[in-house]
């Protein structure tokens, strides 16, 4: 404490002055929050209002996310369902072709997790995740037109790639 600058009476005063210097020297533009519609600088709320707001967010957001995860699970099981429904014979697939498709799905998932999270951070999840989910839906529906192993491999890789960006980016 002996090394403290004597021109400040307390550490709290010194901290306060340093904060002011940092704020005024900052290159970030200042934002006037008072011009934002709905902004109240002295916001106060009751515990009941907070509970109501949290419940509204939970129902609106979490229900939608749960629905999307259900669709992702449908996709993961649809290959097995398609195989029992005759995909193997229709597309003239061998067991090795199906195993390759499953491997490509996993490879796409693993390869795109990190890059898609970087892209999501730059674009913002509110922009990136809807694009990813729409693209995933298009690829999932495109499986209807699979006629050979190359089509199966390409779509399973694309679906895995898009899921790799969606699941971690959502968190």
| Number of structural domains in the chain | 1
Tokens of 11: 């550490």
CA distances from 97 to 73, 162, 168 (A): 22, 21, 28
In a domain, 36, yes or no: no
Summary mean pLDDT of the chain: 80
In a domain, 83, yes or no: yes
Which residue, chain included where needed, has tokens 């005063």?
13
In a domain, 124, yes or no: yes
Cβ-contact 127, 121 below 8 angstroms: no
Cβ-contact 139, 162 below 8 angstroms: yes
Across the range 49-59, mean pLDDT stands at: 88
Q: How many Cα neighbours within 13 Å face the side chain of 4?
A: 12
In a domain, 31, yes or no: no
In a domain, 27, yes or no: no
Q: Is a pLDDT exceeding 60 seen at residue 86?
A: yes
Q: Is a pLDDT exceeding 90 seen at residue 79?
A: no
For 138, the domain range is 68-170
């Amino acid at each position: 404490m002996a090394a403290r600058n004597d021109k400040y009476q307390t550490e709290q005063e010194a901290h306060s002055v340093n904060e002011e210097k940092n704020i005024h020297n900052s290159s970030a533009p200042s934002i006037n929050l008072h011009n934002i519609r709905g902004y109240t600088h002295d916001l106060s709320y009751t515990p009941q209002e907070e509970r109501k707001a949290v419940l509204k967010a939970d129902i609106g957001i979490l229900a939608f996310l749960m629905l999307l995860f259900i669709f992702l699970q449908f996709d993961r099981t649809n290959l097995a369902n398609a195989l029992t429904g005759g995909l193997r014979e229709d597309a003239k697939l061998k067991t090795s072709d199906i195993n390759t498709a499953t491997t490509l799905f996993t490879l796409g998932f693993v390869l795109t997790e990190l890059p898609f999270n970087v892209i999501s951070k730059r674009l913002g999840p509110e922009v990136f995740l809807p694009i990813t989910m729409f693209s995933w839906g298009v690829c999932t529906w495109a499986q209807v037109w699979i006629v050979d192993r190359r089509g199966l491999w390409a779509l399973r890789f694309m679906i895995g790639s898009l899921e790799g960006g969606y699941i971690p980016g959502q968190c």
